[in-house]
Structure 1
C-alpha cells in the first residue's frame, strides 16, 4: 500500500531536503502517493519550490493540539516525519506535534533528533539535552496503540558538516577556518544529504506493522565516517580545494559573534555552541555509521568529498596569499 507522507518544518534545511529527495528520486517517488509539507511559513521559497515539485503545502500555527491534530487528519497522512524547527520554542512546538500525531492516529512516525543529546547536561548544553525530553515524549506514543505509535523510529543525526559553511566567510577573508572546538578532541561531521537519505529510506520502508521490520523501533545514530579535530578538518579542506588553510581555535564568545553575523537564529546558534561545547569535553570522540550502512547499503560521504562539493563557499578570496586552482562549485 502506497504511503501518504507528512513532513514538518519543510521551510528548514532538513525538512526541505528530505521532501525534495522523496519527490525527485525515482527510487523513492514510486513508493508513496502524496507528500504534504507542514509549515509555519508557507511563503518561504523552499515551500514554493516543493509545491512546484508536487508537494502539498499546508500552513499551520502552533498553540492548540486539537487544531494541529485536525490539520494532520485532513492531510490523510499515515506516515509523518517530525523535524524540530530551528525556533526558540522548538521543544514546545515539536511536543505539540507529537501529541497531535497521536490524536490524529498517524501510525508511522519518524523523529529527527540529535546525536550527543544523551551525553549533554542541562546545565551546560541545554539546547542539546532538550532532544532527550522530546525522544521520551515520542516513545511514550508506543504505550497508546489505539491512537498511534505502532511504528516508531528515531534518527539521531550528528553535527551537520554544512554548519561549517557558517565559517566560510572568515576562510574566504584570510584563509583561516575558526572553530571553538579546542585542539585535542574530535568529532565526525555528517552530510545533511546522508541524513536525508537515511530518513527517506525509513519513510518508504514497509512491513506488516507499518515501517519495515528492519527499521521499526530502531534508534539510529548517524555521524560522518571520519573522526576529525580542527587541524585535520582544515588539512582535508585545504587538500580538497588546493589551497592553504589554517585552523584557529576561537572562544565560544567569538564563535557566537561569527554565527550571529552569518545569519544564525538564536535557537540555531545555541544548538551549535552546545555541540561545540560537547566536542571540547571529549564526548564526541566516536563514529556511528552502522545504521546508515544497513538501511541504505551505501557509505556516508567523507570529508574530502564534502569540501569538494562545497568548494565555492570555502574558496579563499584572491589576495589572501593562498594558492588557488579551478574547482567545481556544484552541490549534491
Structure 2
C-alpha cells in the first residue's frame, strides 16, 4: 500500500494520475471528496496534528509520499513518528532545491532542511525530491492575462530553472514504486532556466496573443505577499526572489531524465498544455461568480 499525502495538491494529484494501474494507494487530504480516486485507491481524511487520524491513514502502508506546506510547523516530525509506529518502510519526501544553496537562510529553507534531517534520522528508508520552483506558479497570472493581456511579476529578467509538476510527479512515482532509490536525493529542474519575461512570451505564443510584461516593485510585491502569508513567510519569499535575481536558481540538473528516461518538459510545453487556464472563462462562469 502506498500513501500519497497532499493528494489534491499540485504534485500529489499528478502522482495519483500516474501510479501504475492496480497499485493499491491511499490518498490523504483534508477533504477526501476532492481526491482523484481511481480503482484500487481509497481517499482518507487526516490531519498532521491528529495522531489518531494519522495512525488510521498509515495502517498497512509500506511506502509514503510526504508533502507538507505549513512553514515552521512540526508536521514532518509528527508524520514520521506515526509512520514508524505503523511499520512504514520507506518515505519519499518533497523538499526544495534551495536546501543545497549555502546562501539560502530564509525561514522556508531552514524549515525544509530541518524536515530533511528529521527524515534522514528517522530510521526509515528515505528518498528526497528537491524541485526548483513549479512552472504552475505562473497560474497566478491568469486573471491579468485574461482581462488585460498583462503579466506582472518581480524581477522580470531573473532566470529560474523551474520544473513541470508532471515531471516531479513522474520522478515521485518511480521512487515510490521501484527499488534503487533509497538514500538518494534528486534535484529536479526544467531543461533550461527561463525568466518571467520569457515565460510571458511563451504563454502569449500558446494563446496566440501578445502579452505585455509589467515589472512589479519589491514594495508592491511584498505588500501583495503580506495579504496571503504571515510576515515571516512573506519575508522568506522576498529573500528567495532576491537570490533568483542574483542568479542562484539557474542551474539545470538532468535528474528527470536519469530517473524516468524522458527529458524534462520545457516551459513552452507547459504553457501550451495549460493555455485553457489563461483563456476566456467558460460560458456561464461570470454568472456563477455573481458578475
Which TM-score tier does this pair reach, normalised by the shorter chain?
0.7 to 0.9
Q: 1:56 aligns with which of 42, 48, 51?
A: 42
Q: What is the TM-score when the length of structure 2 is the normalising length?
A: 0.84
Are the equivalent residues in 1 in contact too, given 2:3–2:58 (CA < 8 A)?
no
Match of 1:21 in 2: 18
Distance between the aligned counterparts of 2:130 and 2:115, measured in 1?
12
Match of 2:108 in 1: 127
Are residues 259 and 162 of structure 1, via their aligned partners in 2, closer, same or farther at CA, if it must alter by over 3 Å? Answer: farther
1:279 aligns with 2:244: yes
Secondary structure of the residue aligned to 2:43 is: strand
Q: What is the TM-score when the length of structure 1 is the normalising length?
A: 0.75
Are residues 61 and 310 of structure 1, via their aligned partners in 2, closer, same or farther at CA, if it must alter by over 3 Å? Answer: closer
Match of 1:236 in 2: 202
**Structure 1 stretches of at least 4 aligned residues deviating more than 6 Å after TM superposition:** none
Offset at 1:68?
Answer: 5.5
Distance between the aligned counterparts of 2:196 and 2:48, measured in 1?
40
Offset at 1:226?
Answer: 1.4
Are residues 306 and 77 of structure 1, via their aligned partners in 2, closer, same or farther at CA, if it must alter by over 3 Å? Answer: same
Match of 1:208 in 2: none
Distance between the aligned counterparts of 1:316 and 1:256, measured in 2?
29
Are residues 234 and 61 of structure 1, via their aligned partners in 2, closer, same or farther at CA, if it must alter by over 3 Å? Answer: closer
1:38 aligns with 2:28: yes
Aligned pair count?
278
Deviations 1:65-103 (A, max 9, x none): 5x36632552x0111110113x356x4112211222223
Match of 1:71 in 2: 56
Are residues 234 and 70 of structure 1, via their aligned partners in 2, closer, same or farther at CA, if it must alter by over 3 Å? Answer: closer
Unaligned runs of 5+ in 2: 282-291
Q: 2:119 aligns with which of 120, 128, 138?
A: 138
Deviations 1:237-257 (A, max 9, x none): 223332211222212443356
1:159 aligns with 2:133: yes
1:9 aligns with 2:1: no
Distance between the aligned counterparts of 2:28 and 2:68, measured in 1?
12
Deviations 1:9-37 (A, max 9, x none): 22322222212321xxxxx224x3x1011
Secondary structure of the residue aligned to 1:225 is: coil
Distance between the aligned counterparts of 1:315 and 1:272, measured in 2?
28
Distance between the aligned counterparts of 1:107 and 1:233, measured in 2?
41
Distance between the aligned counterparts of 1:136 and 1:284, measured in 2?
23
Offset at 1:182?
Answer: 4.6
Distance between the aligned counterparts of 1:266 and 1:37, measured in 2?
29
Q: 2:262 aligns with which of 283, 290, 298?
A: 298
Unaligned runs of 5+ in 1: 23-27, 206-211, 318-332
Distance between the aligned counterparts of 2:32 and 2:203, measured in 1?
36
Match of 1:112 in 2: 94
Distance between the aligned counterparts of 2:280 and 2:212, measured in 1?
11
